[in-house]
Structure 1
Amino acid sequence: MATQSPFSFLENLAQRIVAGPQPPQWMVHEVQQRVVLLLNHVLMQEREAMGRLLGQSGRVARVQWRQFSMALQVTPAGLFNVAAPGAQPDLQIVVTETSPLALAQTALRGDKPTISIQGDVQLAGEINWLVDHVRWDLEEDLARIVGDAPAHAIAQGARRVTQALGAFVARFAGGRAGSQPPDRAPS
């Protein structure tokens, strides 16, 4: 009979703490479903995007960041669906930047994050085309609900908040690196 170390409990506890809290599986499933609905809503506004995905029907792309992952399967309609559990991905996309702050800085600059890609080159090319050419027109969607003028005001306010957040993140990152914020002269 093998004996366990008395510290195995502490070791397991430390591993769980380092990994961070894990959301319940039902929550992960619901978030993934909402992401698919949003992606498909945006894709349905771009007929060319759907047409490009038609040729990739049945293919599975898995996107991963840290311990979070999502597998998407291309449907015969040229849209996405959550892939079945255990589905083998044809394309593996791993976001290699682990820092949420660095990812936020990259997004606010309008840049793409650093990624590692393995698998089907055609599927990777089509997904890259989608990333480069398909944009969500949030203002247009808001206008359908609240009207043109309020939607424009909301979108303009959101752009200002995004710009302010970008400036704050840039200053915060600059301060951590030991550099002066761009709008201040050195003392």
Structure 2
Amino acid sequence: MISSTTSAALNHLLARETWARDKLVKHAGKVAFFDAGVTGVRLKVAADGMVQAATADEPANVRIRIKLSDLPLILQHREHAFSYVQIDGDADFANTISQLADTLRWEAEEDLSRLVGDVAAVRVMGGVRAAVETARSTQQKLAENVAEYFLDEKPLLVRPQTVEDFSAEVARLRDDVERLAKRIEKLKGSR
């Protein structure tokens, strides 16, 4: 089910990009298994450069293991997505997948324009982008305010500089106590 849905979405992107299909044609018949632990997606490259769901009994030429906990990082930093995964198998095929992951983009505005027209699609997508940016900004400000509250008003957290300063003071006090102890020993010995 997931593999079929994923292949349909990828084929939608590949349908517009001849260069991407040309890259995949070189790997026709190969299977990529994207393993997320709890679930996985098996995709097979078709002869025309499109992808289709692969069956579980077809051996994977490349296995890409993804930790679900890394998924937000992967989505935020698509250009570094493959640094968060573990890859086993056909290096050339994995490299092609990596290149496509970096460069294939969904043009939502173009798809939406078929339904509502060009002007409305541009405005809707502008509104969506603004809403996403507002949510991101609000989340950042909330995190900063919560941190400030727990650092200054209800100190449950300590600033790193405060910890460093405290550690330096403790080290200085320890050294002073050791010097004082040596002086006291000298004074006791000189009597």
Q: TM-score over 0.5 for the alignment?
A: yes
Aligned partner letter, 1:107: L
- Structure showing greater radius of gyration is 2
Residue 58 (structure 1) aligned with residue 29 (structure 2): yes
Aligned partner letter, 2:127: G
Whether the aligned pair in 1 keeps the contact of 2:62 and 2:89 (CA below 8 Å) is: yes
In 2, Cα distance between the equivalents of 1:40 and 1:73? 12
Find 1:128's aligned residue among 67, 85, 98: 98
Q: How does 1:94-133 map to 2 (within 5 A)?
A: 94-96=65-67, 98-99=68-69, 103-104=71-72, 106-108=74-76, 112-113=80-81, 114-133=84-103
Comparing both structures, which one devotes a greater share of its residues to helix? 2
Secondary structure of the 1:145 match is helix
In 2, Cα distance between the equivalents of 1:167 and 1:105? 18
- Aligned-residue sequence identity (percent) comes to 25
In 1, Cα distance between the equivalents of 2:71 and 2:135? 13
Q: CA deviation at 1:103?
A: 2.9
Q: Superposition RMSD on alpha carbons, in Å?
A: 2.6
Q: CA deviation at 1:66?
A: 3.0
Whether the aligned pair in 2 keeps the contact of 1:94 and 1:116 (CA below 8 Å) is: yes
Structure 1 stretches lacking a partner, 5+ long: 1-28
Structure 2 stretches lacking a partner, 5+ long: 154-191
Greater relative contact order (Cα 8 A, min sep 6): structure 1 or 2? 1
The residue aligned with 1:87 is 58
Whether the aligned pair in 1 keeps the contact of 2:78 and 2:102 (CA below 8 Å) is: no
Q: CA deviation at 1:161?
A: 2.6
Residue 140 (structure 1) aligned with residue 113 (structure 2): no
Q: What TM-score, normalized to structure 2? A: 0.68
